[in-house]
């Protein structure tokens, strides 16, 4: 009975998500007049090789489930990702919380799905193991590195929590920099270009597990409270049939099937859930307060 109730709730959410905008059919692929082409982008929060390895299996699954051809577009920056979406050069985008809020405000971006872990995300401040700091207050006068200015986990939320602790970064630290990506922030600390830096906790875990960094090279100084972050979103004028196919493709991923289990492991998820604008109302208020 509980499973039936849960299924009914999900179906109602899906219907709500896909039924709010006028119909516009996706573009037809230049290579195949019968194939629909969907242009997909993700935030450039790591180097291109890592991102292609992570997301290509997922896109191939979407292609198999929907019958749509796809073009994988990696923007030059978070701001570029936002602008490409606003100019309608992207159909399906993986946004962080901040970029989604902006895309929703400026282009009516519609949230489709998010991973189970995206409702409980966190940011981590790391230092060199030899750094004597034991708390945030010990970093006063240090060289600090954020990620992208539009990054939720690499800038907005850490800044928000610092403000709650009466830390104004530009006054508290000797210098404040923006690396543009989480992996660049970590490498900046490891290479001694920054005394401390803040990054997405999941990407740090991934870099440790795949050997890009060694656990002896960094030390976790602080971890933030949890918050909602990443979400897959589409253009507001995408037709209902296409939205429904995309949602179903994501929801069909399960750990119980070997062929889809590897896809979920690649994107660090256990499953996907339908997303709604309500998931980001608290974050929207924080964006307004911090004036990002």
User: How many angstroms separate the Cα of 129 from the Cα of each of 26, 154, 174, 222, 290?
Assistant: 51, 21, 20, 13, 31
Give me the pLDDT at residue 7, please.
Answer: 44
Quote the number of domains for the chain.
Answer: 2
Shared-domain flag, residues 106 and 241:
yes
Q: What is the pLDDT of residues 183-213, one digit of tens each?
A: 999 999 999 999 999 998 888 888 888 888 8
Same domain, 82 and 204: no
Mark whether 65 and 78 lie in a shared domain. yes
b vs e for 161-183, b when ≥16 Cβ sit within 10 Å of the residue's Cβ? Answer: bbeeeebebeebbeebbbbbbbb
Report residue 29's pLDDT band, with 50, 70 and 90 as the boundaries: very low
Q: How far is CA 233 from the centre of its chain?
A: 11
Residues 70, 44 within the same domain: yes
Confidence (pLDDT) at 9? 44
Examine the fold and report which residue of 223, 257, 279 is the final residue of a domain before the chain moves on.
223
Give the number of other CB atoms < 10 A from CB of residue 23: 11
Residue 115 clears pLDDT 70, i.e. is over it? yes
Q: Are residues 233 and 285 in the same domain?
A: yes
Final residue in a domain of this structure, among 223, 247, 277: 223
- Nearest CA to 91 out of 67, 65, 117, 72 is that of 72
Q: Does the pLDDT of residue 60 top 80, yes or no? A: yes
The radius of gyration of the chain's CA atoms, rounded to the nearest angstrom, is 20
Region of 163 (left: φ > 0; alpha: ψ -120 to 50; beta: rest) is: alpha
Statement to judge: residues 69 and 92 lie in one domain: yes
Looking at residues 265-285, what average pLDDT do you find? 92
Residues 92 and 146 reside in one and the same domain: no
Task: Give phi and psi for 199, each to the nearest 5.
Answer: -150, 165
Sole residue written with tokens 């590897």:
262
Return all residues near 258 (Cβ < 8 A) that are at least 6 apart.
none
pLDDT of residue 272: 97
Average confidence (pLDDT) over 6-18:
45
Amino acid 205: pLDDT: 85
Q: What is the pTM of this model?
A: 0.78
For position 114, which CATH number holds? 3.40.190.10
Question: Does 236 lie in the same domain as 210?
Answer: no
| Averaged pLDDT for residues 246-271 | 95
pLDDT top residue among 172 and 25: 172
Kindly report which listed range (15-24, 234-243, 272-281) carries the lowest average pLDDT score. Answer: 15-24
pLDDT at 71: 96
What pLDDT is recorded for position 27? 52
The tens digit of pLDDT for each residue in 245-257 reads 999 999 999 999 9
Compute the distance between CA of residue 118 and CA of residue 108 in angstroms, rounded to an integer. Answer: 21
pLDDT at 201: 87
Instruction: Please tell me whether residues 242 and 215 are part of one structural domain.
Output: no
Of 223, 239, 254, the last residue of a domain is: 223
**Residue ranges making up the domain that contains 269:** 2-118+229-290
For residues 100 and 142, state if they share a domain. no
Residue 58 sits in the same domain as residue 203: no
Q: How far apart are CA 77 and CA 75, in angstroms?
A: 5
Summarize the confidence of residues 136-144 as an average pLDDT.
96
261 and 169 assigned to the same domain: no
| The pLDDT value given to residue 208 | 86
pLDDT of residue 1 exceeding 60, the answer is no
């Amino acid at each position: 009975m509980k499973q039936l109730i849960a299924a009914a709730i999900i179906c109602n959410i899906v219907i709500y998500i896909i039924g709010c905008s006028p119909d516009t059919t996706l573009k037809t692929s230049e290579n195949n007049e019968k194939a629909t082409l969907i242009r997909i982008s993700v935030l450039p929060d790591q180097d291109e090789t890592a991102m292609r390895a992570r997301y290509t299996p997922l896109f191939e699954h979407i292609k198999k489930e929907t019958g749509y051809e796809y073009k994988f577009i990696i923007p030059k920056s978070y701001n570029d990702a936002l602008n490409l979406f606003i100019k309608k050069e992207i159909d399906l985008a993986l946004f962080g919380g901040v970029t989604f809020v902006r895309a929703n405000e400026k282009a009516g971006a519609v949230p489709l799905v998010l991973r189970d872990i995206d409702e409980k995300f966190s940011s981590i401040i790391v230092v060199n193991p030899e750094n004597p700091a034991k708390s945030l207050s010990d970093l006063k006068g240090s060289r600090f590195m954020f990620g992208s200015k539009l990054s939720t986990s690499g800038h907005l939320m850490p800044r928000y929590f610092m403000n709650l602790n009466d830390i104004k970064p530009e006054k508290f630290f000797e210098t404040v920099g923006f690396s543009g990506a989480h992996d660049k922030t970590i490498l900046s600390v490891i290479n001694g270009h920054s005394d401390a830096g803040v990054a997405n906790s999941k990407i740090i875990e991934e870099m440790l597990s795949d050997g890009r960094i060694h656990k002896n090279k960094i030390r976790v100084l602080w971890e933030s409270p949890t918050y909602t972050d990443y979400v897959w979103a589409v253009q507001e004028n995408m037709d209902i049939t296409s939205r429904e196919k995309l949602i179903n493709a994501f929801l069909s991923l399960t750990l119980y099937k070997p062929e889809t289990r590897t896809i979920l492991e690649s994107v660090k998820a256990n499953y996907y859930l339908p997303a709604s604008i309500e998931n980001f109302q608290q974050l929207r208020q924080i964006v307004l307060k911090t004036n990002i």
